[in-house]
Amino acid sequence: MAEKAYTVKLGDVSRLLGKIAKEKYDVIVPTTQDGDVLYLPFKDGMGVVMDHGNPLTPPKEFFLPQTDELVKYKKEGKGFKAEVAKSSLDCKRVLFGIRPCDVHALMCIDLPFKDTYDDSYYLQKRANTLILAMTCNEPGDNCFCASMGCGPDLDDNYDLLFTNIGDMLYVKVGTDEGKNLIDTAPEFFDEADKKDAKARSAKIKEVENKFKRKLDTKKLGRLKDKFDDPTWQEMADRCIKCGGCNYICPSCYCFNVVDRTYGDDGVRERSWDGCMLEGFTRMAGGANPRQANVERMKQRYYHKLQYFNDRYGRHLCVGCGRCTDVCPVEINMVDYVNKIIGGA
């Protein structure tokens, strides 16, 4: 959508979000809690962090909660009555400050969640959430979104896109809903001029040159011949099987479904699961096709960098670097994959 661009003063952002919140939107923002930058529901007076790298945790949990009720059921007469749990978002919500890599991660999750079946729990939250994305000014030490084509800029899939160009944010409009949001608070926005657009382009260029890590994606096709590479065992031996890399990943979407019963009543809920955990592929009767950690390690990497691409035409890794950030034994995705494929 070719649209006018705008600017908003950095000092006005909290008041702007406060006004949006009063317009009956739930607003989620990056803010500091106990020294970490996290996405949390906006409250008046809350500090909105705009000069940080990517928040510690991705905003995936707002679309695919760690635990989500699916169905409630209770005994009625000789049978059971089931009702779909009302856990889906039924009001409009604004997610401010989401980074391009995390927008790409949501685009990844969209694919399986509207493939054979529509996952209404997830898709309703996606449909009701406006994406107010923010390009990164400072890639983290382990970021490689530029290698994956997922940053530092964003071409589409946003309602508004902000870039910090000094004492103001440059605002690109992606959808009519984004423009409507601007129209609800026009006093905060000025029309951008050519100088602002130039400052934005210069900022994006500057950030593109700041990445310390590069995954050699041109050589990823070699993975299909590297299934028996000894490096997988090296990684598996080092791994302590904590599952942190799964849980922190913005594009990991696997879940487990359990029924919890309370007397005659019950709840069916789903919770995040992770392919690095031993029980992930354990079946009824105890058989486990991925008993050894090296098999689970390969599954994770091949799903991220080959299988998902074979099925959906894009990688399931967006290069956010969080799995490397949180790994307690410093298993560095870029270093190991480059070693396996003979990359840069």
In the complex, what is the shortest distance from the CB of residue 323 to ligand SF4, in angstroms, rounded to a whole number? 3
Q: Looking at beta carbons only, is 130 or 143 nearer to ligand SF4?
A: 143
For the beta sheet containing 265-272, the strands, ordered from the edge strand earlier in sequence to the opposite edge, are 79-84, 67-76, 265-272, 255-262
* 30, two tokens: 């990056």
Which parts of the chain are beta strand (E)? 6-9, 26-33, 36-41, 67-76, 79-84, 93-98, 129-134, 160-164, 168-173, 190-191, 255-262, 265-272
Stretch that binds ligand SF4, among 30-38, 67-75, 188-196, 239-247 (CB under 6 A): 239-247
Do the Cβ atoms of 146 and 112 come closer than 8 Å? no
Do the Cβ atoms of 8 and 171 come closer than 8 Å? yes
195-229 in b/e burial notation, b at 16+ Cβ within 10 A? ebeebbeebbeebeeebebebebeebeebeebeeb
Q: Looking at beta carbons only, is 13 or 245 nearer to ligand SF4?
A: 245
Stretch that binds ligand SF4, among 2-10, 71-79, 185-193, 237-245 (CB under 6 A): 237-245
Residues 248-277 as x/- pattern, contact with ligand SF4 by CB under 6 A: xxxx------------------------x-
Q: Residue 317, interface with ligand SF4 (CB under 6 A)? A: yes
Q: Residue 64, interface with ligand SF4 (CB under 6 A)? A: no
Q: Looking at beta carbons only, is 17 or 316 nearer to ligand SF4?
A: 316
Q: Which of 152, 178, 319, 343 binds ligand SF4 (CB under 6 A)?
A: 319
Neighbours of 104 (CB within 10 A): 24
Count residues binding ligand SF4 (CB under 6 A): 26
Do the Cβ atoms of 53 and 136 come closer than 8 Å? yes
Q: What distances in angstroms separate CA 277 from CA 156, 178, 281, 294, 300, one per listed residue?
A: 35, 40, 9, 12, 11
Q: Which of 3, 244, 254, 299 binds ligand SF4 (CB under 6 A)?
A: 244
Q: Which of 136, 182, 239, 340 binds ligand SF4 (CB under 6 A)?
A: 239
Going by the DSSP 8-state scheme, the letter that residue 217 receives in this structure is G
Neighbours of 307 (CB within 10 A): 13
Q: Looking at beta carbons only, is 129 or 324 nearer to ligand SF4?
A: 324
Neighbours of 121 (CB within 10 A): 20
Q: Residue 27, interface with ligand SF4 (CB under 6 A)? A: no
Q: Which of 322, 336, 337, 341 binds ligand SF4 (CB under 6 A)?
A: 322
Stretch that binds ligand SF4, among 5-13, 47-55, 200-208, 325-333 (CB under 6 A): 325-333
Q: Residue 106, interface with ligand SF4 (CB under 6 A)? A: no
Q: Which of 42, 243, 253, 272 binds ligand SF4 (CB under 6 A)?
A: 243
Q: Residue 306, interface with ligand SF4 (CB under 6 A)? A: no
Q: Which of 220, 327, 337, 341 binds ligand SF4 (CB under 6 A)?
A: 327
Q: Residue 323, interface with ligand SF4 (CB under 6 A)? A: yes
- Sorted by sequence, the CB contacts under 8 Å of residue 336 that are 6+ apart come out as 231, 235
What is the C-alpha to C-alpha distance for residues 197 and 318, in angstroms, rounded to an integer? Answer: 26
Residues that bind ligand SF4 (CB under 6 A): 239-245, 248-251, 276, 304, 317-323, 326-329, 331, 333
